[in-house]
Amino acid sequence: MKYVYELHKTMLAHNLIIVYEGEFTQEITKSVLAMAERNMDSIGESASTKRKVFNVMVECLQNIVKHAEDLNEKDDDGLRNNAIFMLGKQANEYIITSGNPVRNPVIERIQTKLDKVNSLDKDGLKGLYKEILKGGELSDKGGAGLGFVDMARKSGEKLEYNFEPINDEFSFFALRTVVPRAGGD
């Protein structure tokens, strides 16, 4: 039972206010968003900060659900249920972190999109956002990188990411986004 206390200490040390690990569905996504809303309301968070945090959270959670669906046909090893979402709050920022398995062949495409997003300034991100919308690359599943662009625009920061190999077929994709807290509305 000591691990419960150790986990609690870890969450306090990293200022984590929400941690969810397991299967992600639309219903679970709604519940995570509702918990975050209650938490931010209870501390009187500014409306502009809440909007930005929610936008980034939705993009992260949709990414997890999308990849879980992609892995649906191969769930013998429980990979589809192996995702995590964390929301942390520091004095001046929120940290939104997600992690989920992805197929190794898609890593290069994801990395290219993230590197492009991270190479752009505010105006460049705005231009890329418009270009993607006009380009018609979007589908029901996304895939054009619009979510990454939107996350970078809302945060004003670079998106941190990592791919940790799981096996020959899959890697664990971790994404961290920092959203500065507004001084008020």
In a domain, 185, yes or no: no
Considering only 25-29, 44-48, 63-67, 128-132, which range has the smallest mean pLDDT?
63-67
Residue 66, pLDDT > 70, answer yes
Mean pLDDT of 139-147: 66
CATH classification at residue 41: 3.30.565.10
Report CA-CA distances (Å) from 16 to 8, 43, 97.
10, 15, 10
Q: How many CB atoms lie within 10 A of CB 76?
A: 7
pLDDT digits (tens, 9 = 90+) for 95-138: 999 999 989 999 999 999 999 999 999 999 999 989 888 876 55
C-alpha span between 141 and 66 (Å, rounded): 7
In a domain, 150, yes or no: yes
Mean pLDDT of 7-32: 90
C-alpha span between 170 and 165 (Å, rounded): 6
Edge-to-edge order in the sheet of strand 16-22: 16-22, 83-89, 93-103, 170-180, 160-165
In a domain, 67, yes or no: yes
Residue 66's nearest CA partner among 140, 171, 12, 169 is 140
- Pairwise pLDDT comparison (54 vs 142), residue with the higher score: 54
- Pairwise pLDDT comparison (132 vs 88), residue with the higher score: 88
By CB atoms closer than 10 A (0-12, 13-18, 19+), residue 24 is: buried
For the whole prediction, is pTM greater than 0.85?
A: yes
In a domain, 97, yes or no: yes
In a domain, 93, yes or no: yes
In a domain, 168, yes or no: yes
Report CA-CA distances (Å) from 141 to 85, 161, 173.
20, 21, 18
Q: What is the mean pLDDT of the chain?
A: 87
Number of domains in the chain: 1
Cβ neighbours of residue 114 closer than 8 Å, sequence gap 6 or more = 148, 159, 161
Domain coverage including residue 131: 2-180
Q: Which amino acid is at 86?
A: M
In a domain, 104, yes or no: yes
